[in-house]
Amino acid sequence: MARQIRFNAFQMNTAGHQSPGLWRHPRDSSHRYTDPQHWIELAQLLERGLFDAVFLADVLGVYDVYKQSHATALARGVQVPLNDPLALVPLMAGVTEHLGFGVTAALTYEHPYTFARRLSTLDHLTQGRIGWNIVTGYLDSAARNLGQQRQLAHDERYDLADEYLEVVYKLWEKSWEDGAVLRDKASGIYTDPARVHPIGHEGRYYSVPGIHLSEPSPQRTPFLYQAGSSPRGNAFAGRHAEAAFVSGPGKGVVKGYVDKLRAATADAGRDPGALLVYGQALIITGESSEQARERHAEYLEHVDVEAALALLSGWTGVDFSRLPLDATIDYIESDAGRSALASFTTADPGRQWTVRDAARFIGLGGRGPVLTGAASEVADQLEDWLDSTGINGFNLAFAVAHESMRDVVDYIVPELQRRGRYPTSYTPGTLRHKLAGRGPRLAASHPATQVVIPSHFSEEAL
């Protein structure tokens, strides 16, 4: 049987997101991001379309590599102004029953003790629908504002990440035993103190002696997402992630990412087939092939090349303002810049890609492919992408809020359902039930459930 296709919505608590300049489109409403109604409408739309989850990206800084200034990001509306993603979750959860929430939280930026409680609280309030996209942070501008001269070196960030996860896993998985909370009005015992354990964590970066403040939530550890593609990031994902996000302009690049992720999962002793991988994509569709193509042309007119370059510069660390727009790969001196541009050629290997081409490419939907056409044409492409890259579904960016998502729900979902390649109802239960097919807790083989807390410490405290 052909594999089912999964949809995830890629969003951010800002105007625009992965389609720089598209906020200028007359029908775009993404500037309404400060209005709760904007998110309520989106949540209801996505649940109607049986989306797995809405994934809320975040950065804790400004894109300031381009021209060594934040001026372009501000002027062109490149992911700034930008609000906290976590606050959107209770709001959208309040008007939905099944939709999951993947929230990006960079773990160098909040202490694990407070963060663990924040996520436990959201898992309680969403009744088990919270996921966490583990990010180690990639903008120097964020690190500086948190009092660090610059962010930690790449590998040290992953060391810190490993310890951070150890702390939150201890809090989520080991501090409170199942059944510790009795709520027994007759005996007057709310919690059995013998079944609540201080975690006694003393590490290189963190010291957390005490108990978790939250009682166990439906999933305990939130459903775990990861998006890294560096070797160390891959190993990290292989060890921890239940789902991963990848983005690349062509199938070859994406298949490479997927293969590496699954290999890293196997290396970590976990079932590589159990890792869900979502590939980033933008779908442009409509009532007909013609309408879809008109929309594509219309959207393309609203791409802001300079905004796209500010985004690309932030992602790669290369200041693309120093290159002519018609520079090809041979012209680019930095390795990161060449590698950034080279990845685009996989979308169309016959072409000599210029900086302008790359900017226009990411101008619609970011680094993922743009799949344009009537529902049947797009469905063909989705099936092809899924079957030839090994991904499990798509992390769908939008061009125009919420038109892009509405078109997917109205046209693509029914077409895929007709083909038997899309769910016709939600799986009951937590996000983990829905995505991993089992739950609500992590498998016993996952490192989260294998952390150990000192038992003598627990006894002493009583």
Q: Which is nearer to its own copies, 89 or 246 (CB)?
A: 89
Q: Are 45 and 408 in contact (CB under 8 A)?
A: no
- 196 sits near its own copies (criterion: CB under 8 A): yes
- 69 sits near its own copies (criterion: CB under 8 A): yes
Q: Which is nearer to its own copies, 33 or 320 (CB)?
A: 33
Q: Which of residues 22-51 bind its own copies (CB under 8 A)?
A: 23-26, 31, 34, 36, 40
Q: Which is nearer to its own copies, 202 or 267 (CB)?
A: 202
Q: Are 94 and 86 in contact (CB under 8 A)?
A: no
Q: Which of residues 213-232 bind its own copies (CB under 8 A)?
A: 213-215, 217
- Judged by CB under 8 A, the stretch of 179-187, 250-258, 342-350, 451-459 that binds its own copies is 179-187
Name the one residue in this structure whose structure tokens are 């989106």.
Answer: 42
Q: Which of residues 323-352 bind its own copies (CB under 8 A)?
A: none
Q: Which is nearer to its own copies, 4 or 207 (CB)?
A: 207
- Judged by CB under 8 A, the stretch of 15-23, 268-276, 393-401, 406-414 that binds its own copies is 15-23
- 91 sits near its own copies (criterion: CB under 8 A): yes
Residue 409 φ/ψ region, left for φ over 0, alpha for ψ in the -120 to 50 degree band, beta for the rest: alpha
Query: Within 10 Å of residue 203's Cβ, how many Cβ atoms?
Result: 13
- 75 sits near its own copies (criterion: CB under 8 A): yes
- 18 sits near its own copies (criterion: CB under 8 A): no
- 185 sits near its own copies (criterion: CB under 8 A): yes
- 410 sits near its own copies (criterion: CB under 8 A): no
Closest contact distance (angstroms) between CB of 24 and its own copies is 5
Burial profile 173-192: b = 16 or more Cβ within 10 angstroms, e = fewer: bbbbeeebbeeeeeeeeeee
Q: Which is nearer to its own copies, 41 or 415 (CB)?
A: 41
Q: Which is nearer to its own copies, 204 or 350 (CB)?
A: 204
- 310 sits near its own copies (criterion: CB under 8 A): no
User: What pairs with residue 282 in β-bridges?
Assistant: 370, 397
Q: Which of residues 115-154 bind its own copies (CB under 8 A)?
A: 117-118, 120-122, 124-125, 127, 141, 144-147
Closest contact distance (angstroms) between CB of 75 and its own copies is 5
Closest contact distance (angstroms) between CB of 77 and its own copies is 3
The tokens describing 42, both together, are 């989106």
Q: Which is nearer to its own copies, 176 or 361 (CB)?
A: 176
Q: Which of residues 251-280 bind its own copies (CB under 8 A)?
A: none
Closest contact distance (angstroms) between CB of 84 and its own copies is 4
- 454 sits near its own copies (criterion: CB under 8 A): no
- 192 sits near its own copies (criterion: CB under 8 A): yes
Q: Out of 210, 252, 256, 272, name the contact with its own copies by CB under 8 A.
A: 210
Between CA 319 and CA 73 the distance in angstroms is 13
- 321 sits near its own copies (criterion: CB under 8 A): no
- 209 sits near its own copies (criterion: CB under 8 A): yes
